[in-house]
Homo-oligomer: A and B are copies of this chain.
Amino acid sequence: MDRLSDQAVNCLKYVSTATLTTQLFRRGFRNVFMQGVALLGKIENANMVGPAFTLRNIPAREDLDVLEIFMDPENPQRKGIETVPPGHVLVQDCRGDKTAASCGSILTTRLKVRGAAGMVSDGAVRDSGVIAALGFPVFCAGASAPTNLIKHHSVDMNLPIGCGGVAVYPDDIIVGDIDGVVVIPGHLAEEIATDAAEQERMEDFILQRIEAGAPLRGTYPPGDETRNAYAAWKRQKFPSD
């Protein structure tokens, strides 16, 4: 993962996609959260984070999309899985069609073995029980048994695509947590990681006050008193910052 500093990756692993969308909204981005794409299985203890490697599918055609095409190692779906660099997230454009699978347990296992950071699809997956138990982050539109050949023709890789209604350019930074998947334009990821971490630190402080009975007014968003108290708390807790 050469585009992001280790520190930024670390920040992105522990902030929420809610915080990230707020940081992006501050910068004028309103459409960065994938619709209809959810975590399969349970969330790991850290977010899925990695640059996007894209795979594009168009509707299948009966004469082209037959089982025999998988014998061809140049088939974009198979080649894509063998090409996604370690640490990257494979993002599949399935046009939001969840009536067939975009992949199953064997391909997902291969992705995991190859060191991918995760898989995102706005189509469905098959073998959903096996995949959910892999310990590998997968975000998708649900479970559907039919083979991809019935609906999806994988056509090319690492072009800009749409996924879940959001533009995904290769090497955009993909972050997934229990709320879903956010796409951070690559050139903004470093600064957003920093600002998001700071926002969450303050919101942790605010949440403590709210839990202790503070009203919203003056606390969330913070007024002067809360800001000062936060600054003092931060100096004490994170003296090196």
A residues engaging B (CB < 8 A)?
Answer: 16-18, 20-22, 25-26, 28-33, 35, 38, 43, 58-64, 67, 70-71, 73, 78, 81-82, 95-96, 99, 101, 104-107, 109-110, 113, 126-129, 142-147, 149-150, 153, 155-156, 159-162, 165-168, 177-180, 182, 185, 203, 206-207, 210-211, 213, 215-217, 220-221
Contacts and interface: CB of A to CB of B under 8 A. Distances in A.
Given A58-B160, A179-B126, A179-B127, A216 B82 contact: yes
Contacts of A221: 67, 70-71
B22 A147 contact: yes
Contact of A145 (B21, B59, B70): B21
A126 B38 CA distance: 13
Contact of A16 (B18, B63, B127, B165): B127
B62 A31 contact: yes
B215 A101 contact: no
Contacts of A203: 106
Q: Which 5 A-B pairs have the closest CB atoms?
A: A18-B126, A17-B145, A129-B178, A73-B217, A145-B179
Nearest to A28: B62
Contacts of A215: 82, 110
Given A60-B167, A167-B153, A21 B82 contact: no
A58 to B, nearest CB: 4
A26 to B, nearest CB: 7
Contact of A217 (B82, B145, B150, B161): B82
A211 to B, nearest CB: 6
B145 A180 contact: yes
A35 to B, nearest CB: 6
A81 B162 contact: no
A101 B210 contact: no
Given A30-B62, A113-B213, 19 more contacts: A25-B67, A25-B150, A28-B63, A29-B62, A30-B30, A33-B146, A38-B142, A59-B165, A60-B167, A63-B185, A82-B215, A95-B96, A105-B207, A106-B203, A109-B207, A109-B211, A110-B210, A110-B220, A129-B177
A97 to B, nearest CB: 8
A113 B107 CA distance: 41
